[in-house]
Structure 1
Amino acid sequence: MSQDYLLPEVHWLRNAASYIHAHRGRTFVIAFAGDTVREPHFPHLIHDITLLSSLGIQLVLVHGARPQIEAALAQRNLNLRYINGLRVTDDSVLPHIKEAVGAVRIEIEALLSMGLPNSPMAGAKVRVVSGNFITARPLGVREGVDYCHTGEVRKIDAQAIRQCLNHGAIILLSPLGYSPTGEVFNLSADEVATASAIALKADKLIFMSAELWAAELLPRELTPTGAAQILQSSPQLPGELAYYLQNAVRACRAKVQRVHIIHQHLDGALLMELFKRDGIGTLVTATAFEDTRKATIEDIGGILELIAPLEEKSLLVRRPRERLEMEIHCFTIMERDGAIIACAALYPFSAEKIGELACLVVHPDYRQSGRATALLATIEKAAMEQGLHHLCVLTTQTAHWFQERGFTPANLEVLPENKRRLYNYQRNSKVLVKYL
């Protein structure tokens, strides 16, 4: 096997390493519908979930069972009625709902118990815990309709769940809840997942969507406010997607850090969402996923890694770590999920009222995205705040890019005297200047 063949895998693993460290010991609640369980590649999702557990992630799984319930009722010529978008669970259908939900739970437990030598779970010893962790109450009578055994979550026994998680178990929750009087209630799996994530103060709530439209209709990143605005302005959103967004808003506002909506038809979508910087689904979070800020001494390693490839090609002047440490206060960075994806430096020459823009670099994965232009605007604003009138730049290969953004070619005389003395005639960089 050649080294070239191995390089992509090595590159992926190295890039995923920071997420492996960041996710260890975290609590994720993963919800998937009954449609997902019926998919031919559902065992692959179970394998991926087991991999997450082996990496030290504490997992709570919440499964749905709607198609299994509907199939069980159809065999007996029974129908599950929906009124005002809410299902009615009467005495005639409840036994069959419990049977269908139990069958789905057993199927998932069986897959999590698999450990054949030639399977991805070879050697894995996964302990799955289910139980009466959910206390429920009836929906009752609403607008004259008695919803009977359809209920809502009253309480999640977070302490009991946490004890099991701390002992290395995966928690499996079904869309059923129990009352102190011994009754069983039919619940929404999405509500169970959201309530569990809130009660556990989970780091992530993940909805595995069985529909492809989620990626097409939603932005890649949303704040809770942005998600709420979409719900208000787009009444034609498919029902399942609307429920995901409603629960995402509720969870984020209750301090769940991140909610992910992933279309799971792509094999490996869960891993790609969790171990790639840009993921593959929609992220709803109240915390900044990407930020532009002044660099600190802790950012030096990330900046050096970002600019090293351009230094090797002589597109940038080499900056030793010692020099960067002395000049770090001049740098501004763009940080995306903890990784530095762009940087630029502003060196002010206050006496001449001119600033030098230097080391404007964007990671290859984020070029052609407008980030360089946005970072330039940040530097220009900072220069004006410092009372500078002009911004100059020296470049060997990107003169046209700067000219398209208001810079004009100039001769060396426009440079501050200290900068002129350091000019490298061997590099023969072009000088451009912009009036602020």
Structure 2
Amino acid sequence: MNVSDLRGILAYIPQFREKVFVIAIDGAIVACENFSNLVLDLAVLRSVAIKVVLVHGIAHQLKQLAALLDTDLSDTTGIGVTDQKTFELSLMASSKVSFQILEALSSSDLKACITNAIVAHPFGIVGGIDYQLTGRVKKIDVSFIEHLLQKNIIPVISPIGYDGEGKSYRINSDAVAQSVAEALHAEKLIYLCPYPGILNEEGKLIRELDVAAAQEFHKNCSKNLPEVIHSKLEHAIHACKNGVNRVHVLDGRMDEALLSEIFSNRGIGTMIYANQYESIRQARKKDIGAILKLIQEPIEADEILPRKGSDIARDLPFYYVFERDNQIVGCMAIYPYPKTSQAELGCLSVAKNYENQGIGRKLMKFAEKISSEQGFKQLFLLSTRAYVYFMQKGGFKEADPSILPLERRIKYEKNGRKSKVLYKVLN
């Protein structure tokens, strides 16, 4: 890890300190070579005061046991029918994985405890089918888990639930993780699995989905997803709709995947998020440094006029920033010309890593909305290199410089940039 990586992590610490992260680890990830590195990542999370709860799966180990014993399984996921033989092997697999996790955590001096915090009931008889020893989450013992967290002990939760009368049931681990995250009001629910995340129909990674988009994707495209990913997407949607801000699905086999996903704006997997994830707001004094960083490259490329911190400070009431996950990734300015009922859209810039994600269009739409609400009839801008973008994506049209307000036209003629003048009539 280099210095810039460390600085990136430090930027997130105030935001995540003392927050609960529920991390769901597929059994296949516990069995992979990268698991020891993953435990080191967990140690990093604990070192910056993030409260970690681990939920593990057992499907991989269950299949291995069945192959070793040359026996058939009625179900491996905790979703279908769990007969007595499959349940007994599930208990063996669960015990094995839980203790593997304890051993690994101990090697990094992390204290942990296997819990019976899941209160379960039988899944029951559905559609005439008796699901036998398959269970469903009835309740989470929140006070028990919170007590462990207060003592700096990592709760380790298996996909086995208990009904309080001496009976236990096999439960789907994705559902367990979702229920735990909701009950604890977790900041994040992170699914670590042997897939890069959620892929679209072209096989490309989908980096972000809000709840509405995730539901639409689940409705139209989920039939082509692997069963493991289908399950995680379904539970991610449910979690986000019930108070969990962010759900991440990523490849736990990749070294530093967990840290890269948590401590960067971009991430490496798929994130499903609640609607409050992004916002546009008026800039504040503390944002000046971030704005200067955003516009540095466009200034060097002669796309926008040079600006200093003092220039931005002077015009700060006219600046707006686009935040994603509390990080500024876009900015713009709206300069008013009340005498002519015109407003100028200027200094629009989007961070390199966030280009082609619709942020520029959202900023333009917001500029139109604000300008219209303030009584302006026309929005104009000047562009030397990005004018095609503004015309195609924003609906702006080219005009003669004579449409500019007098004071702006004087500046235009004086700087000699010969920018194209674009305008849009506001409703």
TM-score, scaled relative to structure 2: 0.86
Q: Give the counterpart letter for 2:341 in structure 1.
A: K
CA distance in 2, matches of 1:203, 1:420: 50
Matched, 1:77 2:70: yes
Cα 1:401–1:36 shift into 2, 3 Å: closer
8 Å CA contact 1:78, 1:93 repeated in 2: no
CA offset at residue 274 of structure 1?
0.5
8 Å Cα contact 1:212/1:265 also seen in 2: no
Matches within 5 A, 1:270-309: 270-297=258-285, 299-308=287-296
Unpaired runs of at least 5, structure 2: none
- Deviation by residue 1:139-185 (Cα, 9 ceiling, x = unmatched): 23334443332222222111111111111111111111222111222
Partner deviation per Cα, 1:43-82 (whole Å, 9 max, x = no partner)? 2222212221222111111111122123223333332214
Q: Which moved more, 1:222-231 or 1:48-57?
A: 222-231
Aligned pairs for 1:125-274 (under 5 A) are 125-212=109-196, 214-216=198-200, 219-234=206-221, 235-274=223-262
Residue 94 (str. 1) matches residue 87 (str. 2): yes
Q: CA deviation at 1:307?
A: 3.2
Root-mean-square deviation over aligned CA pairs: 3.0
User: Could you tell me which residue of structure 2 aligns to residue 38 of structure 1?
Assistant: 31
CA gap 1:156/1:417 in 2 versus in 1, 3 angstroms? same
Tell me the residue number matched to 2:61. Answer: 68
Instruction: Specify whether residues 90 and 394 from structure 1 end up closer, same or farther in structure 2 by C-alpha distance, changes over 3 A only.
Output: closer
What does 1:336-355 align with in structure 2 at a 5 Å threshold? Answer: 336-355=324-343
- Secondary structure at the residue paired with 1:103? helix
CA distance in 2, matches of 1:385, 1:94: 63
Deviations 1:61-113 (A, max 9, x none): 11111221232233333322149984433334433332221111111111111
Q: Counterpart in 2 of 1:24?
A: 17
Q: Secondary structure at the match of 2:192?
A: strand
The reply on whether 1:48 has 2:37 as its aligned counterpart is no
Q: Is the contact between residue 215 and residue 262 of structure 1 (CA under 8 Å) also seen in structure 2?
A: no
Match of 2:344 in 1: 356
* Deviation, structure 1 residue 275: 0.9
Deviation of 1:339 after TM superposition, in Å, equals 1.8
SS state at 1:430 partner: coil
The one-letter amino acid of 1:419's match is R
| Separation in 2, partners of 1:286, 1:369 | 17
Greater displacement, 216-225 / 49-58: 216-225
Moved more, 254-263 or 224-233: 224-233
**Letter matched to residue 138 of structure 2:** R
Instruction: Determine helix, strand or coil for the equivalent of 1:88.
Output: coil
1:335 and 2:323 correspond: yes
Paired with 2:281 and 2:102, the residues of 1 have a C-alpha distance of: 47
Question: Shift of the alpha carbon at 1:134?
Answer: 1.7
Q: Is the 8 A contact 2:29 2:35 kept in 1?
A: yes
State the alpha-carbon separation in 1 of the partners of residues 253 and 105 from structure 2.
20
Q: C-alpha separation between the residues in 1 aligned to 2:410 and 2:143? A: 68
Q: Does the residue aligned with 1:361 lie in a helix, a strand or coil?
A: strand
Q: Separation in 2 of the partners of 1:94 and 1:247?
A: 23
Q: Structure 1 residues 392-401 or 354-363, which shifts more?
A: 392-401
Query: 1:137·1:179 contact (CA, 8 Å) conserved in 2?
Result: yes
* Identity level (%): 33
What residue identity is the alignment partner of 1:100? A
**1:117 counterpart residue number:** none
- Give how far 1:27 is off: 0.4
Q: Which has the larger radius of gyration?
A: 1
Q: What are the ranges of 5 or more consecutive residues in structure 1 without an aligned counterpart?
A: 1-7, 115-123
Q: Distance in 2 between matches of 1:366 and 1:88?
A: 45
Cα pair 1:395 1:429 within 8 Å, conserved: no
Distance 2:214 2:242 in 1: 15
TM-score (ref. length: structure 1): 0.84
Quote how far apart the aligned CAs of 1:203 are.
1.0
Distance 1:167 1:84 in 2: 32
1:15 match: 8
Deviations 1:349-378 (A, max 9, x none): 222233333222222323455543543344
Residue-pair matches, total? 417
Deviates more, 1:136-145 or 1:211-220: 211-220
Contact 2:198 2:206 in 1 (8 A): no
Q: Which moved more, 1:91-100 or 1:53-62?
A: 91-100
